[in-house]
């Protein structure tokens, strides 16, 4: 460890305790929500919804996906999702044609905006879905992203 002035574990005792407990194996993952293996293993939109505890997802116009129509490189495709639905609990980003559809999911806690973004890998041109859980129900919006694949030059 060194000199990370911007950084370091200068957090309060509570976090240090949890961190210590996690590394001691006492509290394996309790500092974090349990990683939802079933959802990340799922192949389809419906199976992801089921693995997240729902049955089906209803199409919604209150979900906006910000993504390029064409991504120059599938290794890094910026995707942001915002929703105007009331009581948003979580947002998930899926790439339909990836080997496993789910790329990332976000729990929106009290005070947090229903507006998140990350960058995902896409093996090929595909639909991107955003699943939003709001008021206990699941909603979905879809956008197509074309990928111009690499493979040439450095």
Q: Does 65 participate in binding another protein (rule CB under 8 A)?
A: no
Its sign, for the CA torsion 50, 130, 90, 21, is positive
130 forms beta bridges with: 93, 141
Q: Does 55 participate in binding another protein (rule CB under 8 A)?
A: no
Interacting residue with another protein among 56, 107, 135, 144 (CB under 8 A)? 107
Interacting residue with another protein among 14, 55, 61, 136 (CB under 8 A)? 14
Q: Does 103 participate in binding another protein (rule CB under 8 A)?
A: yes
d(CA 63, CA 99): 25
Q: How far apart are the first and last CA of the chain?
A: 34
Q: Indicate the length of the chain as a whole number.
A: 154
Residues of the shown chain interacting with another protein in the complex, contacts defined by CB under 8 A? 1-4, 6-12, 14-15, 19, 22, 29, 31-33, 35-36, 40, 66-73, 75-78, 80, 95, 98-100, 102-109, 111-113, 115-121, 146-154
């Amino acid at each position: 460890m060194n000199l990370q002035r911007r950084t370091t574990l200068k957090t309060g005792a509570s976090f240090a305790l949890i961190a210590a407990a996690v590394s001691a194996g006492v509290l394996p993952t309790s500092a974090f929500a349990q990683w939802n293996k079933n959802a990340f293993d799922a192949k389809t939109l419906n199976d992801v919804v089921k693995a997240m505890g729902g049955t089906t997802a209803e199409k919604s116009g209150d979900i906006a996906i910000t993504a390029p129509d064409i991504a120059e490189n599938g290794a890094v495709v910026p995707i942001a999702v915002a929703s105007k639905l009331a009581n948003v609990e979580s947002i998930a980003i899926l790439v339909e044609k990836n080997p496993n559809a789910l790329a990332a999911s976000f729990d929106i806690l009290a005070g947090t905006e229903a507006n998140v973004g990350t960058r995902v890998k896409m093996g090929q041109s595909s639909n991107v879905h955003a699943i939003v859980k709001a008021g206990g129900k699941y909603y979905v919006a879809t956008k197509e992203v074309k990928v111009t694949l690499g493979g040439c030059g450095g």
